[in-house]
Structure 1
Amino acid sequence: MFAAVLHEEHSIEFEDIHEQPLENNEVRVKVMAAGICGSDTHKMRTKWKYGFPAVMGHEFSGEVIEIGSKVTKFSIGERVVGIPLLPCYECEYCLSGEYSLCENYKMIGSHFYGAFAEKVVVPEKNLLKIDDLSYEEATMIEPLAVALHGVQGIDPKLGDTVLVFGAGNIGLLTIQALKIIGVKNIIAVDVKEGNLEEAKKYGADFTINSLVEDLEKLVKEYSDNSGVDIVLECAGSAIAQEQSLRVVKKHGKIAYIGIAYEDIHLPEDSFEKIFRHELTLKGFWNSYSAPFPGKEWTNSYNLIKQNKVNVKDMITHRFPLNQTKEAFEMILKQKELHKKVLIIPNKEM
């Protein structure tokens, strides 16, 4: 089969590789669409930790084309979405149903060949049926589940004022989820005007460009001078991670969703707000709960299926498999404005 293969020095080459053998409990999926995640592009900027050659791609959907002898839940021809996390099912966290905290997890697209390929092999447990949902929309189930893991976990209430740092893909999905819950006001913060315009389109009531505007002053103005009830940090920015402590009200809650890519050093007055204001800080990693893969995944599927979350318009670019390298170059060099970028290994007939 053909695949976009990652080699040393972050080189991606379009190559003909051997198909992986199929175990008794596994399914072979013809990949119809696969999304490029922000974590994929981050890995291209830093050191790849998982060995070469590699095939990335963990946001994907496709058609079942082969099943192992012990597979009972899927049939040839069914449409499915892939679940990339492979928990160990044996550590204390897995045994308590907290799969996102698994001590010995593996990931499709990191530890194993992923979906930037014509086909991918997936354990039966790591697939969900998508019925007639489009393959492209189904690729957005995974990032929406990441957003919902944080939103559901921080538990916003009807009437809350909530601030979202970062209006990228996860931020926009978070804003849409908050709108469904019925929070009073949503404030989107970013440093790019284009992202803030998108945030308005997807439900933000107020926007702040923290690069050129007075963040704390405007937050007070938009929150009756008290600060926001909840902050969801989706940017993975050291600056935003610190600013989150400054804009939340006393007894407020902060959800850290964005991956930290650098050290964060807190000024004394920011750190003091944690205990003087009795704040609740929670981190949210990945998107899983019990029963695996969890309500984050089933809710994401239903929200997209019922058109309650608009993911279709978030897909801005599509590249064939043999142009995966060009897709990454476009993102990394910011050649064009984009949101979700898809790789299309096999065209639907």
Structure 2
Amino acid sequence: MKAAFVKSPFKFEIREVELPPLKPNDVLLKIKASGICGTDLHTARTEAKDWQTFGHEIVGIVEEIGSCVENVKVGQSVLVESGSFCGTCEDCRNGRVDLCHDRAPNVFIRAEKENLTMGFAEKVIIDKQNAVPFEGVPFEEASLVEPMGVALDLTYTVDPRLNDDVLVVGLGPIGLMAVQIVKAMGARRIFVANHSRSKIRIDVAKSFGVEDVILVDKTPISSYKFPKGGVDRALVTAPPYVIPEVLDVMNFGGVVGFIGIDYGEGRFIKFDANKFHFNKLQLRASHAVPALYFPRCVDMIKSGAVNVKPLITDTFKLEDIGEMMVRAENEKDKVIKAVMLD
């Protein structure tokens, strides 16, 4: 079978590989769709010191199962949890699977270390716990369930309330899905902030019914005139350097959640702790590992609460992964989500 390999900076190869025999808890998938994530771009940019497989937003059809697999059957369509919970640690036993540190073998760790491939390949072997059956959603749309779980985790972390004014910073796929989720949860007004060069992302956000778009290269977030003076909740899907400015526009008792990361000096921020304290603000980190909420995300696509179709700007074949990765890196003003289809 064929699999794509990456080595930084942005070198790609398609190789013939042979998968090992299945272990009792293994599931062999024929990959039907796999999305390019910002993590994949980071891997291609600097992380892949040696050749490695990559891709984790995976949808497939079960082709073979191990002797102890009972949760899925051959021929079923499944989503792949990019990282699952173990179910046996103290946090899991206490009902906080979202805090699990002793995760079961998952596609992130096991596939790379044991040469079981990753998402940009013809097939992948996963642990049975990572396989989530689904139906009624096209494969390319289902590939967005993994990042939608990230958007949902961020939204739950921020906990927007009915009639809140909400700010979403960053209009990548996660930000655009978060806009829709926040709206479904009853937000009164949703403001979004993004650079003006990303016209396609801005147009999609407007189609979702946002109150206004703050073009950060023309109007700093801190100088925007919000109807209530500020916002009640903010979801930051951009690098950490924007957080201090977002804190400046929070209403009394406001909550800011973030998932954006950076490296080097960019990972540090500085803000007025006294203002933060006296305004009773909260800053909460979202890190969606283990990957959760897949069935709920599928239901949201089916119900129309979240429309992922406008986010899929590009589809491609496995053999074109290198070209598409370069385009996704260099043409962020045109590419929102690129999905490999079988």
Normalised by the length of structure 1, the TM-score is 0.88
> Take 2:37 and 2:106, find their aligned partners in 1: how far apart are those partners?
14
State the match for 2:215 in structure 1.
209
> Take 1:202 and 1:21, find their aligned partners in 2: how far apart are those partners?
47
Q: Note closer, same or farther for the CA distance 1:8–1:341 as it changes in structure 2 (3 Å cut).
A: closer
State the match for 1:11 in structure 2.
11
Aligned partner of 1:230: which letter?
A: R
Matched, 1:258 2:260: yes
Matched, 1:47 2:42: no
SS of match in other structure, 2:4: strand
> Take 1:75 and 1:284, find their aligned partners in 2: how far apart are those partners?
33
| Post-superposition CA distance 1:145-204 (Å, at most 9, x none) | 110111122211110000011011110000000111111000100113413232212231
State the match for 2:299 in structure 1.
302
State the match for 1:188 in structure 2.
192
> Take 1:307 and 1:315, find their aligned partners in 2: how far apart are those partners?
16
1:10 to partner: Cα distance:
4.6
Q: Note closer, same or farther for the CA distance 1:108–1:203 as it changes in structure 2 (3 Å cut).
A: farther
Counterpart selection for 1:135 from 132, 139, 152: 139
Aligned partner of 1:231: which letter?
A: A
Higher deviation after alignment, 18-27 or 108-117: 108-117
Matched, 1:144 2:148: yes
Gaps of 5+ in 1: none
1:71 to partner: Cα distance:
0.9
State the match for 1:198 in structure 2.
204
Aligned partner of 1:84: which letter?
A: S
1:54 to partner: Cα distance:
2.0
SS of match in other structure, 2:27: strand
Matched, 1:333 2:330: yes
1:311 to partner: Cα distance:
0.5
SS of match in other structure, 2:47: coil
> Take 1:128 and 1:154, find their aligned partners in 2: how far apart are those partners?
26
> Take 1:263 and 1:133, find their aligned partners in 2: how far apart are those partners?
38
State the match for 1:229 in structure 2.
232
Aligned partner of 1:328: which letter?
A: M
State the match for 2:158 in structure 1.
154
> Take 1:161 and 1:178, find their aligned partners in 2: how far apart are those partners?
10
| Post-superposition CA distance 1:269-306 (Å, at most 9, x none) | x3332212111111110154xxxx64x22211100122
User: In 2, are the aligned partners of 1:228 and 1:247 still within 8 Å (CA)?
Assistant: yes
Counterpart selection for 2:276 from 266, 274, 277: 274
1:100 to partner: Cα distance:
4.3
Aligned partner of 1:108: which letter?
A: V
Q: Note closer, same or farther for the CA distance 1:171–1:71 as it changes in structure 2 (3 Å cut).
A: same
Higher deviation after alignment, 64-73 or 332-341: 332-341
User: In 1, are the aligned partners of 2:106 and 2:127 still within 8 Å (CA)?
Assistant: no
Give the number of equivalent residue pairs.
332
SS of match in other structure, 2:267: coil
User: In 2, are the aligned partners of 1:330 and 1:336 still within 8 Å (CA)?
Assistant: no
> Take 1:81 and 1:118, find their aligned partners in 2: how far apart are those partners?
15
State the match for 2:107 in structure 1.
108
Aligned partner of 1:77: which letter?
A: G
| Post-superposition CA distance 1:99-125 (Å, at most 9, x none) | 444335465245523111000111111
State the match for 2:32 in structure 1.
32
SS of match in other structure, 1:265: coil
User: In 1, are the aligned partners of 2:194 and 2:215 still within 8 Å (CA)?
Assistant: yes
> Take 1:234 and 1:132, find their aligned partners in 2: how far apart are those partners?
29
Matched, 1:313 2:310: yes
**Identical amino acids, percent of aligned pairs:** 30
Higher deviation after alignment, 168-177 or 186-195: 186-195
Q: Note closer, same or farther for the CA distance 1:94–1:11 as it changes in structure 2 (3 Å cut).
A: farther
> Take 2:21 and 2:83, find their aligned partners in 1: how far apart are those partners?
20
Aligned partner of 2:30: which letter?
A: K
1:77 to partner: Cα distance:
0.8
Q: Note closer, same or farther for the CA distance 1:53–1:59 as it changes in structure 2 (3 Å cut).
A: same
